[in-house]
Amino acid sequence: MSHRILLLGAPGAGKGTQSKRLADEYGVEHVTTGDALRANKDMETEYGTPRSFMEAGDLVPDPVVNEIVEAALADADGFVLDGYPRNLEQAEFLSEITDLDAVVFLDVDDEVLVDRLTGRRVCDECGANYHVDFQPPAEAGVCDECGGELIQREDDTEETARERLQVFYDNTEPVIEHFRDEGDLVEVDGEATPDEVFARIGDVLAE
C-alpha cells in the first residue's frame, strides 16, 4: 500500500475531506498548505502576508509555500499531501525533495464545486468541515465534534470561489497534465458521497 500520496483536485473537490480520512486510515501525516497558510495568515514575509493573496483567491508566492512543504515533509514518515503543488514550479520543487507513491486526481464538475464551496462551514475551534446541505451538523452552526462555532471561510464567497477556480485552471491544470503525461495519475470521480469517494480512492490505491 502506498504511503506517500498526493491528492489533486480543484477547490472544493474534497481534497481536505478525503486527505484527513486517508491520513487516519494509513497512520500518516496530513500535510495541507491551505491549513498551514490559514494558521499563519498574518505572518510577515518579504512578499507581504499570506492573507492578502488568500482573500483574493490568488496563489501565495512559491518560496513561502515551498518552505512550508519542505519542512513538513522532512518531518513526516509517510504523508497525504493536499493543496500542493499548484503550479509547475511547485511540482518541480516537490520532485526534487521527495518521491511519490501515488497521485490521485479527484474529478468534480465546476457547478458542483461552487455549491460545495459556498455551502461549506468550518469549526472555528477544531477545523472540522461541514456543508449546510451535504454534511450538515446535528445543530445548525455548532460543531458536532467539539461544540465550537461554525463559520464560513473568507474565500468561500461565490465571487472568490469562482476566482479560485480560474486560478486552478490557469495554474494547476498544467500540473495535472504533467502527472497524466508521466503516467502517474489515477483519476477518481469525486461526485458521490464522501464515503463512496473514500472507497473509490481506496480501490485505486490498492491496485
Which residues of the chain form contacts with ligand AP5 (CB under 6 A)?
9, 11-17, 33-34, 37, 53-54, 57-60, 65, 83-84, 86, 90, 116-117, 120, 129-131, 134-135, 155, 164, 192-194, 197
Least distance (Å) between residue 164 CB and ligand AP5: 5
The residue among 152 and 183 lying less far from ligand AP5, judged by its C-beta, is 152
120: annotated active-site residue: yes
For every residue of 2-18, DSSP letters joined together read --EEEEEESTTSSHHHH
Answer yes or no: are the C-beta atoms of 14 and 25 closer than 8 Å: no
Q: Whole-angstrom Cα distance, residue 81 to residue 78? A: 10
Least distance (Å) between residue 168 CB and ligand AP5: 7
Answer yes or no: are the C-beta atoms of 186 and 206 closer than 8 Å: no
Answer yes or no: are the C-beta atoms of 143 and 126 closer than 8 Å: yes
20: annotated active-site residue: no
Q: Which of 4, 15, 116, 121 is catalytic?
A: 15
51: annotated active-site residue: no
Least distance (Å) between residue 53 CB and ligand AP5: 5
Q: Which of 4, 20, 120, 121 is catalytic?
A: 120
The residue among 4 and 164 lying less far from ligand AP5, judged by its C-beta, is 164
21: annotated active-site residue: no
164: annotated active-site residue: yes
The residue among 74 and 183 lying less far from ligand AP5, judged by its C-beta, is 74
Q: Which of 20, 21, 86, 116 is catalytic?
A: 86
**b/e string for 98-136 if b means 16 or more Cβ within 10 A?**
beeebbbbbebeeeebbbbbbbbbbbeeebbbbbbeebe
Task: Residue 196: count other Cβ atoms within 10 Å of its Cβ.
Answer: 12
Least distance (Å) between residue 11 CB and ligand AP5: 3
Q: Whole-angstrom Cα distance, residue 137 to residue 134? A: 10
Q: Which of 38, 41, 51, 153 is catalytic?
A: 153
Q: Catalytic residue positions?
A: 15, 86, 120, 153, 164
